[in-house]
C-alpha cells in the first residue's frame, strides 16, 4: 500500500514537471513569435529609411529628426502621409513597368545576336530544356539576357 502512495506522488511530481515544461515551451513560442514580428517591423522601417535615401545618415541626426517629428502638427503629418503614399505607389508602378519590359518579345536585332551565338554555342538545347521554348521568337527579353550573360 505504501508503494502505491509513493508511486502516486512520483507521478504527480512528473506531471508538475511536465506542466512547467509545457508552460516554458508556450512562453518560448510566444517570445519567438514576438521577435519575428519585431524583426519584420524593424526591416520595414529600415527599408523606408533606404527609400527616403537617409539610411546612411548619422544615427544621432536621425534620432534628433525623429524626436522633432512629435512636434509636427496633424495637418503636416497628413501631408507627409500623402507624400509617402505617392512615393511608394510610384515605386510600385516602376517595379511593375520594369517587370513588364523584361517580359517583352525580342527584337530582330536581339534574335540576330542569338543566332550568331548559336554558331559557336549550343543555345537551342538551353532554350528547349530550361525555357521550354522551341523558337527564338518565343523567348522573353529576360530569357535573352540570361543567355547573353551565360555565353559572354
> For the segment 49-104, what is each residue's pLDDT rounded down to a tens digit?
999 999 999 999 999 999 999 999 999 999 999 999 999 999 999 988 888 877 77
Give the distance, in angstroms, between the CA of residue 34 and the centroid of all CA atoms in the same chain. Answer: 19
DSSP 72: S
Q: Provide the pLDDT for residue 138.
A: 85
Confidence category of residue 107, pLDDT binned at 50, 70, 90: confident
- Express each pLDDT in 26-61 by its tens digit: 888 888 888 888 899 999 999 999 999 999 999 999
DSSP string, 126-145: HHHHTS--SSGGG-BHHHHH
- Express each pLDDT in 10-19 by its tens digit: 888 888 888 9
Nine-digit cell string for 82: 500623402
d(C-alpha 152, C-alpha 135), whole Å: 21
d(C-alpha 83, C-alpha 85), whole Å: 5
d(C-alpha 18, C-alpha 12), whole Å: 10
Q: Are 27 and 19 spatial neighbours (Cβ–Cβ below 8 Å)? A: no
* SS3 call for 76: helix
For 100: left if phi > 0, alpha if psi spans -120 to 50, otherwise beta; the answer is alpha
d(C-alpha 103, C-alpha 59), whole Å: 41
Checking if the pLDDT of 116 tops 80, the result is yes
Amino acid at each position: 500500500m505504501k508503494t502505491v502512495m509513493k508511486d502516486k506522488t512520483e507521478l504527480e511530481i512528473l506531471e508538475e514537471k511536465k506542466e512547467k515544461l509545457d508552460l516554458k515551451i508556450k512562453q518560448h513560442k510566444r517570445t519567438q513569435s514576438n521577435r519575428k514580428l519585431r524583426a519584420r517591423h524593424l526591416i520595414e522601417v529600415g527599408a523606408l529609411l533606404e527609400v527616403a535615401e537617409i539610411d546612411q545618415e548619422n544615427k544621432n541626426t536621425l534620432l534628433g529628426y525623429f524626436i522633432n517629428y512629435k512636434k509636427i502638427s496633424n495637418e503636416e503629418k497628413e501631408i507627409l502621409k500623402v507624400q509617402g503614399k505617392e512615393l511608394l505607389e510610384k515605386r510600385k508602378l516602376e517595379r511593375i513597368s520594369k517587370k513588364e519590359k523584361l517580359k517583352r518579345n525580342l527584337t530582330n536585332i536581339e534574335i540576330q545576336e542569338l543566332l550568331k551565338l548559336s554558331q559557336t554555342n549550343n543555345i537551342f538545347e538551353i532554350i528547349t530544356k530550361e525555357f521550354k521554348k522551341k523558337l527564338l521568337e518565343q523567348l522573353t527579353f529576360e530569357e535573352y539576357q540570361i543567355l547573353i550573360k551565360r555565353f559572354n
